Structure 1
Amino acid sequence: MIEMLNRWYQRRFSDPDAVALVGILLMGGVVLYFFGALLAPLLVAIVMAYLLEWPVSKLCRVGLSRSLSATVILLLFSGLMVIALGGLLPTITSQIANLTSDIPTMFSRFQVYATNLPDRYPEVIDPALVDALMASMRVKALEMGESVVKGSLASLISLATLAVYLILVPLLVFFLLKDKKEMLQTAAGLLPRNRRLATQVWLEMNQQISNYIRGKVVEILIVGIASYVTFALLDLRYALLLAVLVGLSVLIPYIGAAVVTVPIAMVGLFQWGLGPDFWWLMIAYGIIQALDGNVLVPVLFSEAVNLHPVWIIVAVLVFGGLWGFWGVFFAIPLATLVKAVWGALPTPAEPHHDVDV
């Protein structure tokens, strides 16, 4: 066994460039794992810089300097964000407050409905099972209330963190856009000399990450707007709040869509019961998810969807467990990175067989 592993290691890592590539990746992973929380503002700035690089480069091609292009685009982007958040936040805050006040009523109605189930279907549903379910839900509701109180007490710290982000992130984005070439040259000088494979993987992944971030933002906007229009036409309560949740759910492939289905179904049941309106809501929501998964995602992420859904889910679980939100957000690019690195490593030479003529 040891001999077999040794032969495999010699075949795969006989090239110094391969050793350097794996070493760079391991070092980057260790830094993110131990210092990810401290580097969060920088990670946010890098994501935004990738997002804004395309319009900045367009202005540079027109003839503006990179400093002026970065300034103009960053100011326009900040203005749009302020306008959007100023219009959305009051409504979302109001809907969160209304939903919070309605949760006890929802729970009471569900409790009455669940308690009557053993009488309706005595041969299928055990009353003891319903009682255990209700007791568990009460405990969860109490824990949720405690977490809300703790969250409100920690809101001052959150506000302080937000203030830091509002100052640091725009500054970091500006310098990342303005001094992009200089920073890349500095980073290259810190890497080992045997970095041919690392450069090859970087050139491939840099374009993929840029396309992924822009595509993900477009997907969030399209899915969120389509969901809001659908919910508003159906006159669903908390339409904006639920649409925002649906839009953000695309950050977590497959799992996010399944999770956000629960609050939508709960609000629909609370508002209409198991009537035609509820089923129209679920059908419309299913159509949105089907169009997102089968039309929008292949168009926006033509390279990433070559990954099998099983590997994407595994990537979400593994990288999300390692790096939290950022691991989930970059699950698809990281899975693609693993695939690209494996393809870049030297492959064992095929044995040559002489053919007798």
Structure 2
Amino acid sequence: MVRIIRGLAHKYFSDDEAVILFLLLIIGTLGIIWLGHTLAPVIASVIIAFILQGLVTKLTDHGVPNAVAVILVYLLFLGVLVGFLLGMLPLLWIQLTSLAGEAPRIFREMQSYLELLPQEYPNLISMESINSLYQQVTSEAANFTQWLVSFSLSSIPDVMAILIYLVLLPILVFFFLKDRDVLMSALASTLPQQRPMMRRIWHEVNEQCANYVRGKAVEIVIVGGVTFVAFRIMGLPYAALLSLLVGLSVVIPYIGAAVVTVPVAMIGLFAFGWSSEFIWLMVIYGIIQALDGNVLVPVLFSEVNNLHPVVIIVAVLFFGGIWGLWGVFFAIPLATMLKAIFAAWPVHHGSQNEAT
């Protein structure tokens, strides 16, 4: 056993840089686990600045001075943030509360459709299982409605925290964009002077994660926007809420689309019934998903090393189990980062005798 451990240490940790990088990864992971909630505005600001830096770089490549590029991109970010807070967020809240009020009627409609299944498939589905499923879903819906209604004075501390975050977030994003080089130099000064392996890994991680994160941001906007327009044209209720869910679902490949299809189908069935409108809704929704997977994704992520579907599912389960919902959203970027690190990690192929 000792010999095996010594062999692995010699193979993967014979380089001093590898040991230092491994310790930094451990410290960073533990820091996020223990201080992630406290440092949430800082982490969110770093991610947003990381996304916006791509626009700054493109402007500077076209001859725009860096300071002017930072100001233009930051003003664009503020415009989008204010537009979302004053335009989209109230609409989403209105539709969410309306959906909570309509939930009992929606589930009664669904029950009437589900009760037809035991008659058509008596050997596969029983009425008892349908009633049990309906009671569980109704109970969860009632709990959600109760929580939504009770969102009042007891939630003032959480609202105040959100307001503080909304003040801190733009300030931090501005300084991360403006002083990016200064902050990076200060961080680099804490590392060894000679670090070719770390530079190679950083270049690989930065390229892969930057392309992925920025591509996903564009994909969310395009898919969500197209879905919103299609749902509004068809007259589907709660179009803004559903299109937001569809847009965010692209963050989790395969799983997200499958999960979001359920509420889209339920609202469509409630609004149109078993009619041609419902069929057209699902066809259009399927076309959007097909175009996203077969056209938009290859265009946006042509420079990103694609992860195997098994790796994606494992990453979602693993990071989601550690960090909950945030872990689910950032599972793919984290898996991409780990893949880039493993690809650039120095491996010593010497014999076992050298290790001993």
Whether TM exceeds 0.5 here: the answer is yes
Aligned residue in 2 for 1:78: 78
Indicate whether 1:251 and 2:251 are aligned: yes
CA distance in 1, matches of 2:231, 2:120: 32
CA distance in 1, matches of 2:27, 2:107: 49
Aligned residue in 1 for 2:15: 15
Change over 3 Å in CA distance of 1:88–1:144 after alignment to 2:
closer
How far residue 194 of structure 1 moved from its aligned partner, in angstroms, is 6.0
CA distance in 1, matches of 2:59, 2:138: 57
CA distance in 2, matches of 1:80, 1:11: 49
CA distance in 1, matches of 2:50, 2:274: 45
CA distance in 1, matches of 2:149, 2:195: 51
Tell me the amino acid that sits aligned with residue 10 of structure 1.
Answer: H
Aligned residue in 1 for 2:264: 264
Q: Which runs of 5+ in 2 are unaligned?
A: 352-356
CA distance in 1, matches of 2:292, 2:279: 20
Q: Which runs of 5+ in 1 are unaligned?
A: 352-357
Indicate whether 1:112 and 2:112 are aligned: yes
Tell me the amino acid that sits aligned with residue 297 of structure 2.
Answer: V
Aligned residue in 1 for 2:201: 201
Contact 2:208-2:337 at 8 Å conserved across structures: no
CA distance in 2, matches of 1:314, 1:239: 32
Change over 3 Å in CA distance of 1:61–1:125 after alignment to 2:
closer
Contact 1:223-1:292 at 8 Å conserved across structures: yes
RMSD: 2.5
CA distance in 2, matches of 1:296, 1:260: 19
How far residue 263 of structure 1 moved from its aligned partner, in angstroms, is 0.8
How far residue 151 of structure 1 moved from its aligned partner, in angstroms, is 4.3
Indicate whether 1:323 and 2:334 are aligned: no
CA distance in 1, matches of 2:75, 2:130: 56
Tell me the amino acid that sits aligned with residue 41 of structure 2.
Answer: P
CA distance in 2, matches of 1:323, 1:128: 37
Q: Answer with 174-183 or 105-114: which moved more.
A: 105-114
* Secondary structure in 2 matching 1:304: coil
Contact 2:237-2:271 at 8 Å conserved across structures: yes
Contact 1:298-1:305 at 8 Å conserved across structures: no
Scaled by the length of structure 2, what TM-score is found?
0.89
Contact 2:118-2:126 at 8 Å conserved across structures: yes
Tell me the amino acid that sits aligned with residue 178 of structure 1.
Answer: K
| Residues 21-71 of structure 1, C-alpha deviations (whole Å, 9 max, x = no match) | 211111111111111111111111112212222333455567765445433
Change over 3 Å in CA distance of 1:174–1:277 after alignment to 2:
same
Aligned length: 351
Change over 3 Å in CA distance of 1:115–1:43 after alignment to 2:
same
Aligned residue in 2 for 1:129: 129
Aligned ranges 1:333-352 → 2 under 5 Å: 333-349=333-349
Change over 3 Å in CA distance of 1:29–1:133 after alignment to 2:
same
Q: Answer with 318-327 or 257-266: which moved more.
A: 318-327
CA distance in 2, matches of 1:166, 1:137: 35
Tell me the amino acid that sits aligned with residue 38 of structure 1.
Answer: T
Aligned residue in 1 for 2:100: 100
Q: Answer with 226-235 or 181-190: which moved more.
A: 226-235
Aligned residue in 2 for 1:291: 291
* Secondary structure in 2 matching 1:159: helix
CA distance in 1, matches of 2:89, 2:255: 26
How far residue 266 of structure 1 moved from its aligned partner, in angstroms, is 0.5
Aligned residue in 2 for 1:220: 220
Aligned ranges 1:111-190 → 2 under 5 Å: 111-149=111-149, 151-152=151-152, 154-190=154-190
Scaled by the length of structure 1, what TM-score is found?
0.88
Contact 2:97-2:148 at 8 Å conserved across structures: no
Contact 1:21-1:198 at 8 Å conserved across structures: yes
Contact 2:213-2:333 at 8 Å conserved across structures: no
* Secondary structure in 2 matching 1:97: helix
How far residue 85 of structure 1 moved from its aligned partner, in angstroms, is 4.0
Aligned residue in 1 for 2:354: none
How far residue 270 of structure 1 moved from its aligned partner, in angstroms, is 0.7
Q: Answer with 141-150 or 24-33: which moved more.
A: 141-150
Indicate whether 1:91 and 2:88 are aligned: no
Indicate whether 1:52 and 2:52 are aligned: yes
CA distance in 2, matches of 1:53, 1:257: 29
